[in-house]
Amino acid sequence: MKRREFLGGTIAAGATMVGLRSGMGPALAQGRSNVIRVLLEDGPNTFDPAGTGYNTAAVSITWNVYDRLVSFASAPIEGEPGAFTYDYGTIVGQAAESYTVSPDGRSITFKLRPGATFHDGSPVTAADVKWSLDRCMTVPTAKAQLGTGSLRDPAQFVVIDDMTIRVDTEKADRFTLPNLAIVFPAIFNSKLAKQHATDSDPWAQEWLKTNTAGGGPFKLASYQAGQQFVLERFADWKNGPIESQARILCQVVPIASSRRAAAQRGEADIVRGLAGRDIESLLAGGKTRVLGIPNPNGITFIAMNTQLAPFDNVKVRQAMAYATPYQQMFESVLYKRGRALFGGSASTDSTAWPTPLPYVTDLAKAKALLAEAGLGDGFETTFSIDAGDAALSEPMGILMQEALGKVGVKASINKVPAGQMGTLQAEKKLAMFIGVGNAWLRNPDYFFRVFYNGASRWNYGNFKNAEMEKLVAETRFESDPAVYAAKVQRMIEIAKADVPMITLWSPFQDTALSKAMSGYTYMFHNALELRHLTKA
Domains and CATH numbers, the chain: 3-273+514-535 (3.40.190.10), 298-508 (3.10.105.10)
The H or E element containing residue 289 is strand 289-294
32 confidence band (pLDDT: 50, 70, 90):
low
CA nearest to 304, candidates 230, 387, 411:
411
Q: Name the amino acid, one letter, at 181.
A: A
292-303, pLDDT tens digit by residue?
Answer: 998 888 999 999
Contact 222, 13 (CB under 8 A): no
127-154, pLDDT tens digit by residue?
Answer: 999 999 999 999 988 999 999 999 999 9
pLDDT of the residue at 88: 93
For residue 490, the tally of other CB atoms under 10 A from its CB is: 15
31 confidence band (pLDDT: 50, 70, 90):
low
502 - beta bridge partners? 302
Burial of 341: CB neighbours in 10 Å, binned 0-12, 13-18, 19+? buried
pLDDT of the residue at 416: 94
Q: Name the amino acid, one letter, at 296.
A: P
Q: How far apart are CA 529 and CA 48, in angstroms?
A: 17
Q: How confident is the model over 371-398, as a mean pLDDT?
A: 94
Q: How far apart are CA 347 and CA 345, in angstroms?
A: 5
User: Where do runs of H (alpha helix) occur along 8-55?
Assistant: 26-31
| Residue 34 vs residue 244, higher pLDDT | 34
Q: Name the amino acid, one letter, at 151.
A: L
Q: Pairing between strand 517-518 and 501-513? A: unpaired
| Residue 23 vs residue 192, higher pLDDT | 192
14 confidence band (pLDDT: 50, 70, 90):
very low
| Residue 503 vs residue 10, higher pLDDT | 503
Q: How far apart are CA 381 and CA 404, in angstroms?
A: 10
505 - beta bridge partners? 300, 340
- Per residue in 235-251, is it b (16+ CB within 10 Å) or e — as a string? eebbbeebebebbbbbb
Determine what percent of the chain is predicted with pLDDT higher than 90: 82
CA nearest to 404, candidates 322, 333, 310:
322
Per-chain mean pLDDT for the chain: 91
440-499, pLDDT tens digit by residue?
Answer: 999 999 999 999 999 988 999 999 999 999 999 999 999 999 999 999 999 999 999 999
24: pLDDT strictly greater than 80: no
| Residue 17 vs residue 503, higher pLDDT | 503
Which contacts qualify for 225-228: CB closer than 8 Å, 24 or more apart?
A: 225/6, 225/7, 225/8, 225/9, 225/10, 225/43, 226/7, 226/43, 226/252, 227/19, 227/20, 227/43, 227/251, 227/252, 228/18, 228/19, 228/20, 228/43, 228/252
10 confidence band (pLDDT: 50, 70, 90):
very low
The H or E element containing residue 81 is none
The H or E element containing residue 252 is strand 247-252
pLDDT of the residue at 9: 40
Lowest mean pLDDT among 172-186, 278-292, 317-331: 278-292
Q: How far apart are CA 376 and CA 370, in angstroms?
A: 5
Which contacts qualify for 343-349: CB closer than 8 Å, 24 or more apart?
A: 346/496, 348/489, 348/492, 348/493, 348/496, 349/489
Flag whether the pTM goes above 0.95: no
29 confidence band (pLDDT: 50, 70, 90):
low
Torsional class of 500: left (φ above 0), alpha (ψ -120 to 50), beta (otherwise):
alpha
Q: How far apart are CA 211 and CA 268, in angstroms?
A: 27
